[in-house]
């Protein structure tokens, strides 16, 4: 288990909202487990993804792919996440880690380690990220002695963790990405989310997209999806919640939904219920969010998303994940190299797997060998994230 001591407090809870939260979690879990959107990745003899998976993902806007990552891969991830936390700045704004060494990401220009005040909601109801988190979440009282900030997110994670890079090159996950977004799919961004026990902050309800809501060709897949691979699993207390089917309704009025609910407990939402090694796939257009983690269980999510090429090619965007720019062929090609490096990094560690063949780089595999030179080349790669 990554070394995250519990805040020293007898109980950390939602105060006057605790009873309602407990009920909401139980009922949400029951609703989640009744849905027909979980199970192992299945392909037929011709390599086509089981249409039942595509169909359930399309109806609900998320799917829990069970048992994707095996114990050896989870052990690699655990080691790397522990290392990320060990190398993180000793506190927000520090330039050294807890051992006095230069902190992780200190020499990077791109955003990397991101912090949150314990149990807080830093963005709900603000204009941040194009105002896409319009309603404030309940902020439980932090435990006595809590640090002023805790690490919540590490962006550009593929440059800091080979284990995360190898998950990014997972052949079955890339085949699923191809089935959903086409063989010329492109990256979005990558991150490690860490919801610390009794301290982790919330992520207010939102839909991720901001560019294409009024586009005449908008459909349920326009703004892409995120994989959310679980190191330890997740539940109603520490995990992400999703409103099933909300990826199909266009831009939702989240403010009105929260008002109608009378609290941040949206009545139709369900939590991702995952075991270690399960990988959820979540449509970025679905309404989703997560509550402050008052539980004793840490959640570590390895996040990585993919787009349809036509959703990003020659689109001018940015301002959230990267600078505002036009995503031309060159920009996308540079960013997509991470997929090619990931496939090779994975081949080196899991030699008995059939590597995924990424069509945009077919025949160029020798250009993308994962080695020290490549590691240096991907520094700050996330300056070219494809945020839409």
* Interacting positions 273-292 with ligand AKG (CB under 6 A): 288, 290
Residue placing its CB nearer to ligand AKG in the complex, 186 or 207: 207
Is residue 240 a contact point for ligand AKG (CB under 6 A)?
yes
Is residue 301 a contact point for ligand AKG (CB under 6 A)?
yes
Residue placing its CB nearer to ligand AKG in the complex, 103 or 173: 173
Residue placing its CB nearer to ligand AKG in the complex, 212 or 288: 288
DSSP H helical ranges for the chain? 18-34, 51-60, 71-87, 128-131, 162-168, 171-181, 254-261, 309-312, 329-349, 372-377
Backbone angles phi, psi at 184, to 5 degrees: -100, 30
Is residue 294 a contact point for ligand AKG (CB under 6 A)?
no
Residue placing its CB nearer to ligand AKG in the complex, 161 or 226: 226
Measured CA to CA, the distance from residue 275 to residue 265 in angstroms comes to 24
Q: Which two tokens stand for residue 182?
A: 């086409």
Measured CA to CA, the distance from residue 197 to residue 6 in angstroms comes to 6
Of 37, 222, 285, 303, the one binding ligand AKG by CB under 6 A? 303
Backbone angles phi, psi at 195, to 5 degrees: -100, 100
CB of residue 189 to ligand AKG, shortest distance in Å: 9
CB of residue 52 to ligand AKG, shortest distance in Å: 25
| Cβ–Cβ < 8 Å for 207, 246 | yes
Residue placing its CB nearer to ligand AKG in the complex, 179 or 229: 229
| Cβ–Cβ < 8 Å for 374, 352 | no
CB of residue 51 to ligand AKG, shortest distance in Å: 26
Binding mask 166-205 for ligand AKG (x = CB under 6 A): ---------------------------x---------x--
* Cα–Cα nearest to 158, from 360, 366, 336, 327: 336
* Interacting positions 207-226 with ligand AKG (CB under 6 A): 208, 226
Residue placing its CB nearer to ligand AKG in the complex, 295 or 301: 301
Inter-CA distances, 141 with 7, 15, 72, 317, 332, Å: 12, 8, 38, 37, 44
Residue placing its CB nearer to ligand AKG in the complex, 58 or 238: 238
* Interacting positions 4-33 with ligand AKG (CB under 6 A): none
| Residue appearing with tokens 């979005």 | 188
Neighbours of 296 (CB within 10 A): 12
| Residues at the site binding ligand AKG, with contacts judged by CB under 6 A | 193, 203, 208, 226, 240, 288, 290, 301, 303
């Amino acid at each position: 288990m990554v070394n995250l001591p519990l805040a020293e407090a007898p109980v950390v809870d939602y105060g006057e909202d605790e009873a309602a939260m407990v009920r909401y979690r139980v009922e949400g879990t029951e609703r989640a487990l009744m849905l027909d959107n979980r199970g192992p990745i299945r392909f037929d003899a011709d390599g086509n993804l089981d249409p039942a998976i595509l169909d359930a993902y399309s109806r609900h806007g998320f799917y829990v792919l069970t048992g994707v990552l095996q114990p050896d891969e989870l052990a690699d991830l655990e080691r790397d996440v522990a290392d990320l936390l060990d190398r993180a700045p000793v506190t927000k704004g520090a330039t050294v880690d807890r051992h006095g060494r230069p902190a992780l990401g200190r020499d990077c220009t791109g955003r990397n380690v991101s912090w949150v005040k314990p149990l807080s909601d830093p963005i709900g109801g603000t204009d941040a990220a194009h105002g896409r988190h319009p309603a404030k979440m309940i902020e439980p009282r932090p435990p006595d002695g809590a640090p002023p900030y805790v690490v919540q997110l590490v962006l550009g994670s593929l440059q800091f963790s080979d284990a995360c890079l190898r998950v990014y090159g997972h052949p079955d996950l890339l085949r699923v990405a191809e089935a959903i977004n086409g063989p010329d799919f492109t990256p979005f961004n990558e991150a490690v989310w860490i919801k610390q026990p009794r301290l982790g902050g919330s992520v207010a309800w939102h839909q991720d997209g901001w560019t294409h809501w009024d586009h005449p060709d908008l459909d349920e897949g326009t703004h892409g999806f995120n994989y959310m691979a679980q190191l330890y699993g997740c539940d109603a207390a520490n995990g992400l919640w999703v409103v099933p089917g909300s990826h199909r309704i266009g831009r939702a009025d989240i403010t009105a939904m929260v008002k109608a609910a009378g609290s941040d407990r949206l009545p139709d939402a369900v939590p991702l219920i995952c075991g270690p090694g399960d990988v959820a796939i979540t449509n970025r257009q679905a309404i989703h969010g997560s509550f402050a983690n008052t539980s004793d269980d840490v959640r570590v999510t390895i996040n990585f998303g993919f787009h349809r090429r036509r959703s990003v090619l020659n689109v001018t965007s940015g301002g959230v994940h990267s600078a505002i720019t036009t995503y031309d062929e060159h920009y996308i090609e540079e960013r997509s190299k991470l997929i090619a490096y990931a496939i090779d990094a994975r081949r080196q560690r899991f030699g008995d797997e059939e590597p995924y063949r990424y069509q945009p780089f077919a025949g160029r595999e020798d250009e993308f060998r994962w080695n020290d030179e490549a590691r240096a080349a991907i520094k700050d790669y996330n300056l070219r994230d494809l945020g839409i």
